[in-house]
Chains A and B, each alone.
Chain A
Amino acid sequence: MWFLTAVFSLMTTNLIFTRALGTSTMMAAAKSRASLPGLALMMTLFSALACLGMQLICYPLGLAALLTYPFSLGLPLVYTAMIGVIYLLVLAAVGLILREKTAVYKKYVHLSAFNCAVMGTLYLAFAPDGLRQDLSAAPTVRLFGMLEGAMDQPFSAILFGLQEGLGFLLAALMLSAVRERLYDPEIPASFRGRPAMMVCIGIITLAIYAVFA
Chain B
Amino acid sequence: MKSQVEYKDGLFRHNSVLYEGMVIAPIVVCCDTLRKALILSLAFVLITVTSVLIGSLYPRRFPYAVRIILYALTASAIYIPTALLCEYISPSTYAALTNMVLPGQGLVTGAAFLYLPLLSVNSFVVLHSELHFYRYPRKQMLGVLLAHAAGFSLVACLASFLREIAAHGTVLGFAVDMPLVMSGIAAPWGGFILIGILSALHRRAFRSKSEE
Taking Cβ atoms with an 8 Å cutoff, the residues of A that contact B are 12, 17-24, 27, 73-77, 79-81, 83-84, 87-88, 91, 110, 113-116, 119-120, 123-124, 127-128, 130-131, 134-135, 138, 140, 188-191, 194-203, 205-206, 208-209, 211-213
Residues of B within 8 A of A17 (CB): 188
CB distance from B67 to the nearest CB of A (A): 11
Interfacial chain A residues near B73, Cβ < 8 Å: 77, 80-81, 84
* The 9 residue pairs across chains A and B that have the minimum distance between CB atoms: A202-B192, A198-B196, A212-B104, A202-B193, A131-B110, A199-B196, A123-B114, A84-B69, A76-B76
Closest beta carbon of chain A to B63's beta carbon, Å: 9
B181 within 8 A of A: no
Inter-subunit contact B24/A18 (CB<8 Å) = no
Known interface pairs A24-B21, A209-B184; A196-B196 also in contact (CB < 8 Å): yes
Q: A12-B104, A140-B105, A212-B103 are in contact. Are A190 and B113 (CB under 8 A)?
A: no
Min distance, Cβ B189 to any Cβ of chain A, angstroms: 4
Is A205 touching B192 in the complex (CB atoms < 8 A)?
Answer: yes
Kindly identify, within residues 69 to 104 of chain B, every residue whose CB is under 8 Å from any CB belonging to chain A.
69, 72-73, 75-77, 79-80, 83-84, 98, 101-104
User: Of A18, A87, A140, which contacts B65 at CB under 8 A?
Assistant: A87
CA distance A17 to B103 in the complex (A): 10
For residue B84, which residues in chain A have a CB less than 8 angstroms away from its CB?
73
The CA-CA distance from A191 to B65 in the complex, in Å, is 36
User: Which residue of the partner chain, among B66, B109, B113, B201, contacts A128 with CB atoms under 8 Å?
Assistant: B113
Q: Total interface residues on B, using CB and 8 Å? A: 55
Given contacts A84-B69, A198-B193, A202-B193, contact A209 B187 (CB under 8 A): yes
A195, B196: Cβ atoms under 8 Å? yes
* Complex CA distance for A120 and B62, rounded to whole angstroms: 27
Query: In the complex, A114→B119 CA distance in Å?
Result: 11
Chain B residues with CB under 8 Å of A124's CB are: 114
Q: Which of the 9-residue segments B120-128, B138-146, B169-177 touches chain A?
A: B120-128
User: Are A77 and B77 within 8 A (Cβ)?
Assistant: yes
Given A73-B84, A81-B73, A140-B102, A202–B189 Cβ distance below 8 Å?
yes
Contact A201 B113 (CB under 8 A): no
